[in-house]
Every structure is written in C-alpha cells, then in structure tokens.
Structure 1
Amino acid sequence: MEIIKALKRNVEKDYGFKIKKWKVIKNVKNSSLVVQIVTNNGKKYALKNLYLTRARQQFIAKSEQLLADRGVKLASPVLTHNGELLMEYNKNPYVLYQWIDGKSASLRNQEDLEAIVEAMARFHQASKQLQYPDDMKIYGHEHWENEYKERIKTMRKWSKEHKSSDSGNAPLIKKYIGFFQKMAYKALQELQNSRYESYFNSEASAKSLVHGDLHSNNVIDSKNEKVLIDFEDVRYDLPSKDLLRLFSMYSKNHSFQGKTFSGMLEKYEGYHKLSSEIKKLVLIDFMFPHIFERLLRKKKYIGMENKELKHRLKQEKKKAAYVYEKYFSNNQGTGG
C-alpha cells in the first residue's frame, strides 16, 4: 500500500535508520495504530499514532520523557533527528517508543497486586513538580462533582428504561442498583463537604499525574522490573483513578477482603504518602460506584454470564460498604 510505503520512508528519514521488519500490532481505524519496527541493526521500537491532537500527544510524550528522566520505568519516547518528540505524517502525530520485551504482569494474588501498586506509587511520587514548556497545554481530569452527577444520571436513566425488564441480567442489576445509587449520593455529599475545590484549583505542579488506564496488561515484567506502558490517558488527577482501575481488575478473580484493600493502601503510602485531605478524597472516590456505572454506560453487562456479573457486583458492593463503614459512617474522616 502506497500510504504505508510513504509512512515508512518518513520514519526512516526522521529517525535515521533502515526498517528491516514492519509488524502491525494494532490497527483500529481513526483510533490507534501500533507498529513494531525492527531496524537493520536489530533494534526494536514501537511506532504509535493515537489520532489525537498535536497538543494532547505533545503532553503525553513530554510527560513520559520527564518521568523517564526521573527514573520511572516506562517505554521512553525516542527523539527525531531534529530533537522532536513527535513525527508528523498525513496531519497525524506519531511517536516512536523503545520496545519493551517481557510479559504482562500478573494479578494472581495480593503480592502481585502490591508489586504493581509499588510501581504506581513510585510513578505518582516522581510526577510531582514536573517542569513543562511554558507554551504546552496541561491536561487534568474534569471536576469530580460534574463527573459524579453525570454518572448518577446514568444509573437513574438505566433504572427508568429497565423498570419493566426481566430479561438477561436486568433482574440481577436491579437487585444491586439501589445500593449503588445510595453510595453514589453519599460519595457526592462527602465530596461537596470536602476540600476538593481547593485541590482542583491548585497549581498542577502541586499535584501528581495518573496513568489513567493502569491495569496489569499495561505493566510489563521486564528484567525483574515493572515497566509501565500506554500512557495515552495520562493527566493530572488524584491517585484513586489508578488504584480503582487496578483494584477492579484484581477483584474480577478475587473476593473482596478488607485486609487486602487496607494492605494495598498501606503499600501505596509507603512510597507516596498522602495528606489526610487527599486520602479522604481517594476514599470518597473508592466509595463512588464507578465500575458499576461503567458496566451500565458501556453496556458491558450485556452478554456477560450471570455468574461473572454477580461476582463483580458483589465485590463492588463489599468494597463500597467497607469504605463507607470504616471511614465515613461515623464521620471518622480518614482515621480509624
């Protein structure tokens, strides 16, 4: 294909090597293109086009570069001959990355969970006070209150639309949705009474980055190290966004236990200590039923086996109940 030939020529020109092998790993139209490149001298790279704006891709690649400079183990972006983080072709930004050999990290037990949490906490800690170019757009998460309200609407809308439905997994969801709506409102109320507004309006340099999609498949076991990959959702936000994602993956195959949850937070704070205000916000976010709402919004429950869905809903309920009872039911804040 002529387009591919032209893209290859651009890569060779901008990075100064000859391509020996070109293997498409992922190709989703207008979403993502990932290619493994092997050069004539045997070096391996990953070429990515995420069909993002130049500003967004610049922020991602610069964040990765700054984090790598601080010792975070990740797939580092490779500079072009002109010292640029991006290569443009056909009006799309491409980034070339070091290829990381290894296997996806496992989540077989609590030890595996805490090993990834340690890598996560080290990354969050290292991301503070990063210095971006003055003209670079800095990306953060939307205001949590707006997010919570929109996700509450999802649950209310689902309840209304499935009021008379008894097919598929609808009866099982109905059994749990009242509890999750209750937790959502409690989390929203706690958020409104917290110091989140002060955090949200603070300078980005005082906050930490989050990966945005930190699950075990985006962590590579390479040379006895945990290496983070795929930072396309990186942004400034609170640590709960990464902790939630990882813990939800762990809970797919494990029953919720308070000691595992507490152990995860303890391991995290061993490498990235949280203030009492920030920890409270993290716990509020764990109380909010993000995973349940996502199942509804993205219709993930359709076609899911009833047994699997029941397990996931049960674990989410146990987690939310544990967080509420331990940290919020008696206005204990983050103590106790």
Structure 2
Amino acid sequence: MKLDNESNNYLSLGSKVLLSYDIKPLNLKMLQSKGLKTLWKLTYKNTPLCLKRLNQTMEEALFSVNAQIYIFNNGGMVPRVYPNAKGNFITEYNGQLFVLYSWVNGRDMNLENPKDLNLALQSLSKFHITSIGYVPPINSKTSSKLGNWPKQYTSMKNRMLKIKEICIQTPNNANYSSLVDHIDPIIEICDKTINLINSSSYSDLCSINQKESCLCHQDFGTGNVMLIDGKGIVIDLDSVTYDLPSRDLRKIIGKRMMQFNDYNINNIETILKFYEINNILSPKHREVLKIDLMFPHWFFGLIKNIHKSDKSISAQRICAISSFEQNKFSTLQKWL
C-alpha cells in the first residue's frame, strides 16, 4: 500500500509539473527515482517524452541544460530540450527543477561489444566537436576542469597518504594492513605522474578560452549512450564540464583495462582509432591522455573511503588493484 501511495504521489507530481508545459499526458509512468533525481515517461500528441527532476541548483542546471541545447542546435546527437509554456527550458516547481526532453527510443550500447564500442566512440567524438563554442549564461555556475589535473593528482596523492596514516594506527585490521603494505608503490606512481604532467604540454593545451574547449561528459559509458537507427545518442549531460577530450577517453580506456586486466597497447590504439573517425587527437593530446592513464585513479577510487565505509574492502582486492596499477604504469611508460 505504501508503494502504491508513493507511486501515486510521483504521478501526481509529474502531472502538476507538466501543466507548466500545457501538457495533459497520456501513459505517464515514473521510471526511476534515485534521491532527488527522478524520471518520468509520457506520451503527448503521439510523441514520447521524458520529464526529469534534476539534482542540481538552478545555477548548475543553467550550465548543463543550456550546454545540451547548444550541442543539439550544433548538430550533436543528444535529446532535444523542450521549453515550457513561458519559454523557459528549466521549470521550477515547489523549489525543485524539472526539464522536458525528447524520449530516446533506442537500446543501451554494450561497450564490451566491438561494434557498439566503435559507434559509441564515434558518438563521443561527435559530442566533443559539437560542444566547442558553448558560452554559458552569465548567471550559471560554470563547470571547468581545464588546468586542474596537476592539482587533482596532488590532492589524491595527499589523501592517500592521510589514509595510510589512519590505517597504520589500526594494525590489527587485516585490510588496513594490506593497504599499508601496497600503497608505497602507488605513491611512487603518483609522484612520477605528477612530474610527467608538469613537464608535458598539458598547460599549453589548457591555456585557451573556455569557448575554444570541448565539453566532457564525465560519465560516458553503458547507460548514457543509446543506439537508435545505427547512431549513438548521448544522454544525461548533468555533469558536463570544460576539459580536454582525453578526460572522457581515459575513463573508458582505463575501465576496460581494469575490467579485462588488459594492457595491450594495440587495443588502446583501436579505441582511439574509433574515436578519431570524427576527431583526430594531436600528439600533445595523446601525450596527456597517456599520462592521465598512468595515474592510479582506480586504486584511489577503491580505497578513498576505506576508513569511512561500512563495506569492507578485502586485502586480496587491495593487492589485485595495486598490481593492476603497477603493471599498467609500466606498460604505459613504454608507450609514452
């Protein structure tokens, strides 16, 4: 009964928000609710649409929603954003923010499938290209990671050192002891990577006006790129930020390396070949991508909350990810 009431409340909320669009929907369904972020599917004039409640401030939403509108108008493969009856693309209702999009009648792309991976990487490069030139509204909160990598690397390294000290103080915890045993080579990789990025072309690449930079998705992958009519549609642009295209590529390549324990440079080059069908990476962009792949992002991701989380991280897992990072660094160092 409680679930029925909750579902009815969501449907009632969606219907009330859609009045701002002068829409009386058919087949309104609540599809997903994760915290504040909620999705509804509806039909209006035989057209499927998606209503989304954002987990953002108005200033953040102004940046990401207008970025999506810019990319769409520039020929990018992203869902269309519809204005409400007052011409606003973001609707505020009871202090919450809502956006109405075209519904993507496609399927999730499986990035483990080579054909899907090819199309997805082409979609990503098209996304990057069509985002260049975006100028956000004055009253938005601009998101940019340009020039921040050395600072982020140092911050992650220092956080890992603090975690190491915390673990040293609890010697009877086997998982903590495993972290202490395996973290020093990781810190060494951090130091080498920081030196590499500081001596690379990174600062030159970032010394551009923001509108000359592409926007990175930051969460590109299965679930956020859909296949429709043989083309990839990029969805869920809430986290877009100005940055080098290698940011998105590093996450895709690194995740595959870890998932398959695969350090084969030819496989990385195949991924880049797919991407470069639409957007050729300069030698300088390739250089910083290689360096970013070297940094132990995945070790950091595993242990960053080891002393805060209720979930235990096994000593075996810590050992495995440490070995992965060291082997990855050694292979990529030769490639660089």
**TM-score bracket for the superposition, by shorter chain length:** 0.7 to 0.9
Deviations 1:198-220 (A, max 9, x none): 44442111111100111212111
Matched AA of 1:282: L
- What is the aligned partner in structure 2 of residue 323 from structure 1? 332
Matched AA of 2:281: L
| Pick aligned residue for 2:191 from 167, 185, 189 | 185
Structure 1 residues 25 and 8: CA distance shift in structure 2, 3 A: closer
Which consecutive unaligned segments of at least 5 residues does structure 1 have? 328-336
**Over aligned residues, Cα RMSD in angstroms?**
2.9
Equivalenced residues, count:
324
Matched AA of 1:144: W
Structure 1 residues 223 and 325: CA distance shift in structure 2, 3 A: same
Please give the alpha-carbon distance, in whole angstroms, between the structure 1 residues aligned to 2:232 and 2:316: 33
- What is the aligned partner in structure 1 of residue 128 from structure 2? 124
Q: TM-score, normalised on structure 1?
A: 0.84
- What is the aligned partner in structure 2 of residue 55 from structure 1? 59
Q: TM-score, normalised on structure 2?
A: 0.84
- What is the aligned partner in structure 2 of residue 88 from structure 1? 92
Structure 1 residues 126 and 318: CA distance shift in structure 2, 3 A: farther
Matched AA of 1:15: Y
Which consecutive unaligned segments of at least 5 residues does structure 2 have? none
| Pick aligned residue for 1:267 from 268, 274, 299 | 274
How far did residue 255 of structure 1 move?
2.9
Matched AA of 1:261: I
Deviations 1:184-242 (A, max 9, x none): 11111122223433444421111111001112121112222211111111010112221
Structure 1 residues 8 and 301: CA distance shift in structure 2, 3 A: closer
- What is the aligned partner in structure 2 of residue 330 from structure 1? none
* 1:229 is the counterpart of 2:238: no
How far did residue 168 of structure 1 move?
4.5
- Mean Cα deviation higher: 204-213 or 110-119: 110-119
- Mean Cα deviation higher: 144-153 or 18-27: 18-27
Matches within 5 A, 1:133-282: 133=137, 136-141=140-145, 143-163=148-168, 164=171, 167-168=174-175, 171=178, 173-174=179-180, 176-256=182-262, 257-282=264-289
How far did residue 248 of structure 1 move?
3.5
How far did residue 307 of structure 1 move?
7.0
Structure 1 residues 307 and 74: CA distance shift in structure 2, 3 A: farther
Please give the alpha-carbon distance, in whole angstroms, between the structure 2 residues aligned to 1:170 and 1:43: 58
How far did residue 312 of structure 1 move?
5.2
Deviations 1:66-89 (A, max 9, x none): 111222212222122232211111
| Pick aligned residue for 1:14 from 13, 16, 20 | 20
How far did residue 315 of structure 1 move?
4.1
- Mean Cα deviation higher: 118-127 or 275-284: 275-284
Deviations 1:276-325 (A, max 9, x none): 33332222211111122111114489456777766655444433222222
Please give the alpha-carbon distance, in whole angstroms, between the structure 2 residues aligned to 1:26 and 1:246: 25
Structure 1 residues 107 and 6: CA distance shift in structure 2, 3 A: closer
Residues 26, 42 of structure 2: 8 Å contact kept: yes
Structure 1 residues 53 and 20: CA distance shift in structure 2, 3 A: same
